[in-house]
Amino acid sequence: MPEAIAYELAKKQKEISVAEFFERNKHILGFGNPTRALITSVKEGVDNALDACEESGILPDIYVELKNQNEEECIVIVEDNGPGIIKQQIPHVFARLLYGSRFHAVRQSRGQQGIGISAVVLYGQLTTGKHAKIISKIQADQPAVLVELAIDTNKNRGEVQHQEIMHWEKPSGTRIEVCLKADYKRGKRFVYEYLQSTSIVNPHARLIFKEADGTEHVFERTADILPKKSEEIKPHPYGVELGTLIKMSKETKARKLASFLKNEFSSMGDRTANAVCDEAHLDRNLNPADMSREQFLELYQAFKRVKIMTPPTECLSPIGETLIRRSLKNETQEISPEFIFTASRPASVYSGNPFQVEVGIVYGGNLPKDKAVKILRFANRIPLLFQQGDCAVTTAIASIDWRRYGLDQPSGTGIPIGPAIFLTHVASTQIPYTSESKEAIADIEEIENEIKLAFREVARKVQMHINKKVRRVKTREKFDLITKILPEIAKKSAHMLNKPVPSLEKVITRIMDVVWIEDVVEYEKVRGKPVQTKLNITAGKEPAESGGWIAKSQIMIVNYKGKPQKFNLYALFPKNAVVGEVKPKPTKVTESYIKWSLESIDPTDKIDLFFELAGLNKGDFDENDLYVQNINPTYVIGADKWEGE
């Protein structure tokens, strides 16, 4: 009797390793064509270098070099000053896919799957047959090790082809050199753009890019402080799946359901754990290891019905409005933008995953007025260069009616047209990428809504700035005209009537009918001792750094109305700044604004206000953001209506 076909088919079936899978599906990882392969290789090397330096508390100095071998092959070199990698770990880190320390950690990080740099080594091996070279040094008093690596795709393991001890002048660091099939001529421009974008959202890093012809591009760091370290948190009940919940119960050391909930999840105290058990009709003393699938299903559904606090946000490390503004200003110097505004939303949550949105708008200068605005997209400090049309960032921007904010948008939807650059950064413990190549963010409603809210906030700043500027110019022209013509008329009239020249203050006031507010910000270089202020001491803050700059702001208020005016004035400043001297004494000082309660200002009287800020770089605070309260804002030139905190 002939053997059944099923047996024949069974003989052909065999397990494939993850390395074999990606060997045949390299486009999934961002190696779809030679141009993208080059950018992806540089990107993965730089991401690893940044993560390694930050986790070790080292300000990153990263060197990227491209060597064009021929029309099809290019050597990519990425070198850092990080902690190095111990010799035994090199084959695992660089030649083993889905191997890493961040996959299970619930915190913000660039790498998520443990695929990136190993995929670069695999791609180089597949397309050129050449081995990757890795140099690593872990201490200044120890020699470096050079390892040549290949990947055994059947076993998903690294194979050391050659190893030797060598001298390397660096105190510590890692260097990877991979030869791969790539389009150098087209790709080098994208590599430059990627590194430029990376420097914007990583202001603490210094990047050097050396092209094949020896041309060097240096992206200097604009901040000497490392980002806030993201702390690992436990999974949130809203973000866990049923199968994961069952798996966690088998791995926990807890022997009671209530303890399991409190120990293995974030935002679960005694009260919340008991509420979930009651909602699921389960005994809180039940052993998780003895629970049935049906009981876990009840528990899983109870999570959705009980109100649980959002997860803690120490797992996130946003860039901050001041540093985004500083980086954008540094990278757009040649454009000479008219202004740069930024906004940062409070942390939010999708499916139990904390995330935070930061945005910025660069406006005016030499930017083209008849082209679509340039969109810069970032996720966990990584530039997203491709698939812009499939990204939640683009969808959110296109859904806003930008016409009301002064930009051209013919249909009321779509990417607006105007002299602007839009920046968006999403920080999260789990970025919902559309693919493993990490090029676009999936359409998650909560993320899209936060992006829209952030851009509307910054767009209102743009609108207010433009309106304020227009009103100031018109009022200034009116004032200049009055102060030139009226005195001449008064002189001639007085001469004709043989009478003294009359006072024109009341006439000018009646014609102007505004409260004029004018301000100027100047910087002074400070050397020597740290700047200490009363606000430092009362708020428990450290003194501002020794040296650096102090921003000195002067505000002049003139009452050109016919009656005395009484109102409150608010001056906003960056939250990371330290307030120094303030004159006259303010009514209130918080971490983000100064408030003065201005008593009666008589017609034509002038009041001068002054304050200074330390802890900033020159240019971080270019102009005052002023608001008034208890006065009709339409009477005020130079400030907007205070809407409250």
pLDDT score, position 538: 36
Percent of the chain residues topping a pLDDT of 70: 88
Give the model confidence (pLDDT) of 3-21 as tens digits.
677 766 666 665 555 555 6
- Indicate whether 251 and 211 sit together in one domain: no
Domain stop point among 162, 188, 217:
217
Supply the CATH number for residue 181's domain.
Answer: 3.30.565.10
Report the predicted TM-score, pTM, of the whole model to 2 decimal places.
0.80
- Indicate whether 192 and 249 sit together in one domain: no
In a domain, 472, yes or no: no
In a domain, 181, yes or no: yes
In a domain, 256, yes or no: yes
- Indicate whether 208 and 72 sit together in one domain: yes
- Indicate whether 248 and 167 sit together in one domain: no
pLDDT score, position 96: 72
Supply the CATH number for residue 244's domain.
Answer: 1.10.8.50
Give the model confidence (pLDDT) of 484-497 as tens digits.
777 777 777 777 77
pLDDT score, position 156: 75
User: Does residue 632 surpass a pLDDT of 60?
Assistant: yes
- Indicate whether 128 and 187 sit together in one domain: yes
In a domain, 347, yes or no: no
Supply the CATH number for residue 557's domain.
Answer: 2.60.40.290
User: Does residue 56 surpass a pLDDT of 80?
Assistant: yes
In a domain, 364, yes or no: no
Domain stop point among 289, 305, 321:
305
- Indicate whether 188 and 269 sit together in one domain: no
CB 74 within 8 A of CB 127: no
In a domain, 473, yes or no: no
Give the model confidence (pLDDT) of 358-416 as tens digits.
999 999 888 898 899 999 999 999 898 888 888 999 999 999 998 888 788 887 788 99
pLDDT score, position 543: 45
- Indicate whether 211 and 264 sit together in one domain: no
- Indicate whether 542 and 574 sit together in one domain: yes
Domain stop point among 278, 305, 332:
305
Provide the domain count of the chain.
3
- Indicate whether 282 and 209 sit together in one domain: no
- Indicate whether 212 and 246 sit together in one domain: no
Over 249-266, what HEC string results?
Answer: HHHCCCCCHHHHHHHHCC
Percent of the chain residues topping a pLDDT of 90: 30
Whether a cis peptide bond, with omega within 30° of 0, leads into 383 is no
User: Does residue 423 surpass a pLDDT of 90?
Assistant: yes
Burial grade of 273 (CB within 10 A; 0-12, 13-18, 19 or more): buried
Q: Are strands 173-181 and 73-80 parallel, antiparallel or unpaired?
A: antiparallel
Query: Which residue segment(s) compose the domain that 121 sits in?
Result: 18-217
In a domain, 187, yes or no: yes
Question: For the residues 427-442, what does the mean pLDDT come to?
Answer: 85
Contacting residues for 189 by C-beta, under 8 A, at least 6 apart:
none
In a domain, 336, yes or no: no
Give the model confidence (pLDDT) of 109-148 as tens digits.
766 544 678 888 888 888 888 899 999 999 998 999 999 9
- Indicate whether 213 and 260 sit together in one domain: no
pLDDT band for position 535 (50/70/90)?
very low
3-state secondary structure of 450: helix
pLDDT band for position 97 (50/70/90)?
low
pLDDT band for position 2 (50/70/90)?
low
Question: For the residues 173-187, what does the mean pLDDT come to?
Answer: 90
**Most confidently modeled range among 365-379, 514-528, 541-555:** 365-379
Question: For the residues 456-474, what does the mean pLDDT come to?
Answer: 82
- Indicate whether 31 and 143 sit together in one domain: yes
pLDDT band for position 466 (50/70/90)?
confident
Burial grade of 394 (CB within 10 A; 0-12, 13-18, 19 or more): buried
Question: For the residues 585-598, what does the mean pLDDT come to?
Answer: 92
